[in-house]
Amino acid sequence: MIEFKGVNKWFGKLHVLNQIDLKISKGEVLVICGPSGSGKSTLIRCINKLEPIQSGEIIVNEKSVHDPSANLTKIREEIGFIFQQFHLYPHMTALQNIMLAPVNVKKISKAKAEKIARQKLERVGLDEKADAYPGQLSGGQQQRVAIARGLAMSPEIMLFDEPTSALDPEMIGEVLDVMVSLASEGITMCVVTHEMGFAKKVADRVLFMDEGKIIETGTPTDFFDNPKTDRAADFISKILTH
């Protein structure tokens, strides 16, 4: 479903993605972790071309994303992206936030889009907040609206860029609960997170990155209990004692 072939990316002199080869299959839940600055956010931001790459190829659904002739709108329709800082549109209500892309990208009628939007809001447990503006919602609620907004496009893939890092501790649970239930529904998910509970519960595979390279991958149990590399072991001990 998603394939990286020899992908390289630099920010100036910094080699943020170093010869990345990776295959993510349909329905897989992949958790990406690693120290800050290891390139994990950049990795998923390249999947829908929020970031350009300098060499290599990324294939999503048999389409080469970074090919200049690629229909980016079509590709992005199938990929939901959840940001650390939510990035809801502050001038629109929750409902309008969710309806925007279905109406303007998929050209669905307003009535139908509203029905979908209400469904998705209910899905994340916020049906009573349909008319609230982002500024009136807590961080956890905003992130759930953002997830509903992503789901409204019925994407095959959902990418999460540290979805709980900007949240107060008591709100992390409500967002993770939504993500856990998504994982059981067969959506392909790539999640950059340090929430090891989430990884152990739903991840099919954990990928550990450092200095722009994939250092190791494995099932959650293997990775957390028997890391193969010192760097991974060191990282795990740090986030566990933290």
Partner 1 sequence: MMAFYFSRLVEIFPFFLKGLWMTTKVAFLSLIICTLIGFILGMIRSGNNRILKWIIGTYVAFARGTPFVVQIFIVFFIFPEWGLQLEAFPAALLAMAIMGSAFICEIVASGINAIPKGQWESASSSGLTKLQQLRLVILPQSMKVIVPPLVGQYVLLIKDTSVVSVIGVMELTRVGWVTVVRIPEGLMVFALVGILYFSISYPLILLSNYLEQRMAL
Least CB distance from residue 87 to partner 1, whole Å? 4
Beta strand segments in 65-212, E: 79-82, 157-161, 188-192, 205-210
Distance in angstroms (rounded) separating the CA atoms of residues 25 and 36: 26
Of the pair 82, 199, the CB lying nearest partner 1 is at: 82
48: its two tokens: 């829908």
Among 16, 46, 83, 163, binds partner 1 (CB under 8 A): 83
Using the rule CB under 8 A, which residue among 77, 177, 211, 216 binds partner 1? 77
145 is a contact residue toward partner 1 (CB under 8 A): no
- Structure token digits, residue 28: 């897989």
Q: How many residues bind partner 1 (CB under 8 A)?
A: 23
Q: Residue 241 interacts with partner 1 (CB under 8 A)?
A: no
Residue 52 DSSP symbol: -
CB 228 within 8 A of CB 216: yes
* Residue 89 makes contact with partner 1 by CB under 8 A: yes
Instruction: Work out which of 104, 109, 219, 229 binds partner 1, going by CB under 8 A.
Output: 104
CA distance 120 to 115: 9
Q: Is 4 in the site for partner 1 (CB under 8 A)?
A: no
Work out how close the CB of 39 gets to partner 1 at its nearest, in angstroms, rounded to a whole number: 18
Least distance from partner 1 to the Cβ atom of residue 144, Å: 15
Spatial separation of the C-alpha atoms in residues 149 and 120, rounded to whole Å: 8
Least spacing, CB of residue 198 vs partner 1, in Å: 22
Is 79 a binder of partner 1 (CB under 8 A)? yes
Across the beta sheet with 213-218, the strand order is: 79-82, 157-161, 188-192, 29-33, 205-210, 213-218
Contact between 100 and partner 1 by CB under 8 A: the answer reads yes
Calpha distance 212→138 (Å, rounded):
34
Residues that bind partner 1 (CB under 8 A): 48, 50, 72-74, 76-77, 79, 81, 83, 85, 87-91, 100-101, 104-105, 149-150, 153
